Amino acid sequence: MENCLIVDFGSQYTQLIARKLRELGVRSEVVPPTITLDELESKKPLGLILSGGPSSVTDANAPKLTFTLEDIRIPVLGICYGMQWMVKSFGGVVERGLAREYGVEKIRIDGGRLLDTSALQTVLMSHGDHADQLPSMFKAVAHSTKGVIAAMEHRERPLYGLQFHPEVNHTEGGTEILRKFLVACRFRFDWKPSHIFEELAQKLKDQVGSGRILCALSGGVDSAVVAVMLHKLFPDQVDCFCVDTGLLRKNEMRQLSELFSEKFRFPIHVVQAGEDFLRELKGVIDPEEKRKIIGRLFIEVFEREAKKLKDIAFLAQGTLYPDVIESTSFHGGPSAKIKSHHNVGGLPERLPFKLVEPLRDLFKDEVRRMGEFLGLPHEFVWRHPFPGPGLAVRVIGEVREDRLSILREADARLQEVLRETGWYEKLWQSFCVFLPIQSVGVMGDQRTYESVIAVRCVHSDDGMTAHVAPLPSEVLEQISKRIINEVKGINRVVYDISSKPPATIEWE
């Protein structure tokens, strides 16, 4: 099958490249820079993309390929760090830290095989180093307004370099640039979403064999897709457990149980552990510590339940790629850690099970398409993302039952208003956050001193970047009125207008 390899030099956006290629109809595979020439040739790729990364090519221990580009004859595209590595490997000069460009910038395109001539084009830059002198057989085909070389290409071979990121939505025409590269690779663009399930199914069969699987249901879409997929592939080998941590949304456990018992005809085992989680979280304020505690307790609960069963070999969970990339490098490389996710960085080092994470290379929209393919109801598949640690990371400060109760009720009102006004399916994510502060208000001519709820509504394609949703003022007023009038203990509602980056979508 036709394949494009993506070398991961540690970029936060590496899997975005893979996602864009899949959307364009091309199968892609992310590989580490340690891949050997023999390993690369055995995969028979039609093209190679070198990702960005946080390192500097001027460092002695900077990541690099184990072979030279002279050893291969397929088209190669270097992005950001990947372009700088190409420059240095062919004898050019990369200067360190003299032309920093971070965020949206303008570039002037002078031509080139992948670029359309344009007076000015908007792109996303994220670099400190830059190419100062190109190798002899390369020419610059675009410059930033600061004069930095923004794109280059080999005069004879299909070798290209971009100092900006074509894989992100901030870059104007970025998808078209990638498409032109794939055309140069002679792809037929015949990769389909159904192929993703076929690949995952084969990987799971190879990994699991005849072993028994304990599947962890969190209440969200991701873990539900994993559960349905595993039950479809291994109907007699899967036991589905849902730990009621006491950190779920209003009526979530009941809805989940009804879905699996009525729609898919296989029951899930609900483990009541809310008191355990609240006890361990008592007095804990630091969000990283919250996530670590929740991850540890999840494993302890599943260990306890597994002892009641026989021969459990695997623990399956719904880890997605954004969870992985924020917690640690996808391939053990130098990408920066943003925060631990309870099902990634929050798990203890020694596990009594082997992990099964079939979705860890996918983004949310791909998982949703998988859910629809497997028969999950539309309204469930398109629910907004919910964090694995649950409401614990939406209560800022100590997690207490009184705060959780207020948060559940406030969030339920938010979702009701969004659905009634037609905004729910326009958003990527929406939720309430309980703030550990109080403010003065007035109700019925009486002074109040009560808690504050923050509302977060964002647009996004994949969770890697996001921007605030411009809800109409009348909708915001309706949300505030419903929460303050109907949720006891709240007298003020605020709206979060931060984008990602610099903020993350969740507050913790």
Q: Is the pLDDT of residue 339 over 60?
A: no
Q: Is the pLDDT of residue 152 over 80?
A: yes
Tell me the three state secondary structure of residue 442: strand
**Catalytic site includes residue 165:** yes
Q: Is the pLDDT of residue 326 over 70?
A: no
| Residue 272 β-bridge partners | 244
Confidence of residue 484 (pLDDT cuts 50, 70, 90): very high
pLDDT at 482: 98
C-alpha to C-alpha distance for 349 and 97, rounded to whole angstroms: 37
pLDDT in tens, 255-313: 888 888 888 888 888 889 999 999 999 999 999 999 999 989 988 887 888 788 878 88
pLDDT at 293: 94
**Catalytic site includes residue 80:** yes
348-374: average pLDDT:
82
Expressed in angstroms, the distance from the first to the final Cα of the chain is 42
From 4, 80, 215, 457, the catalytic residue:
80
Beta strands in 38-148 (DSSP E): 47-50, 76-79, 93-95, 101-109, 118-127, 130-133, 138-144
Closest listed residue to residue 216, CA positions, set 343, 379, 39: 343
pLDDT at 230: 94
Q: Is the pLDDT of residue 346 over 50?
A: no
| Three-state secondary structure of 188-220 | CCCCCHHHHHHHHHHHHHHHHCCCEEEEEECCC
- On the CB side of 346, CA atoms within 13 Å amount to 27
108-136: average pLDDT:
88
Q: Is the pLDDT of residue 447 over 50?
A: yes
pLDDT at 304: 84
pLDDT at 338: 47
- Mean confidence (pLDDT) of the chain: 89
Residue with tokens 């190109």: 134
Residue with tokens 């394609």: 461
Confidence of residue 325 (pLDDT cuts 50, 70, 90): low
pLDDT at 333: 46
pLDDT at 348: 52
From 127, 154, 165, 331, the catalytic residue:
165
Most confident of 3-7, 25-29, 144-148, 309-313: 3-7
Q: How many CB atoms lie within 10 A of CB 428?
A: 19
From 167, 172, 366, 506, the catalytic residue:
167
Under 8 Å CB-to-CB from 492, ≥6 apart: which residues?
439, 441, 450, 451, 452, 453, 484
C-alpha to C-alpha distance for 193 and 197, rounded to whole angstroms: 7
pLDDT at 175: 94
pLDDT in tens, 80-99: 999 999 999 999 999 987 67
pLDDT at 250: 93
pLDDT in tens, 171-227: 989 999 999 999 999 999 988 767 888 889 999 999 999 999 988 887 788 989 999
Q: Measure Cα distances from 432 to 384, 429, 483, 506 in Å.
A: 12, 11, 10, 10
pLDDT at 202: 92
Q: Is the pLDDT of residue 327 over 60?
A: no
pLDDT in tens, 395-416: 999 999 999 999 999 999 999 9
pLDDT at 328: 45
Q: pLDDT above 90 covers what percent of the chain?
A: 59
473 vs 327: which has the higher pLDDT: 473
**Catalytic site includes residue 185:** no
The sheet carrying 118-127 orders its strands as 28-31, 4-7, 47-50, 76-79, 159-162, 149-154, 138-144, 101-109, 118-127
pLDDT at 145: 87
pLDDT at 350: 61
Q: What are phi and psi of 249, to 5 degrees?
A: -75, 175
pLDDT in tens, 454-483: 999 999 977 878 999 999 999 999 999 999
pLDDT at 324: 65
